Amino acid sequence: MNEFTPLKKKSDRLHNSLRASIQHFREGNDQLGWDNFQNSMEDLQNLLEFEQYFGDLNYDIPKITTDLQALYVCLQNKDIIGMTDVLEFTLFPLANQWVIERDGK
């Protein structure tokens, strides 16, 4: 069970950093929001790499690719509100789902 401790830490950090990023962006604290956003993207990358090798996250990879493309378009257009919406309504529920699934095992 100890081999999954890094996964637990990453999924918890992803969940918390996404929540903080959304909150800071909604409050107009763009620098803090950006810092948390960068942390969350690093953790998301690590979790997706874990999924690639172990297949334990139970998530449709093509779906997350679409979500990340929407996020990328917002970043290209410097659309902080759109980016925050993508984080709040697609990636945050995903992170929440992973935490629930992980705790249920």
pLDDT tens by residue, 37-71: 999 999 888 888 877 777 666 666 677 888 899 99
- Whether 11 is covered by a domain: the verdict is yes
Domain that holds residue 84: 6-53+78-104
The answer to whether residue 37 sits within a structural domain is yes
pTM value? 0.82
In a domain, 39, yes or no: yes
User: Which residues lie closer than 8 Å to 50 by C-beta, 6 or more apart?
Assistant: 7, 10, 56, 57
pLDDT of amino acid 49: 83
Q: Is residue 61 part of a domain?
A: no
The structural domain count of the chain equals 1
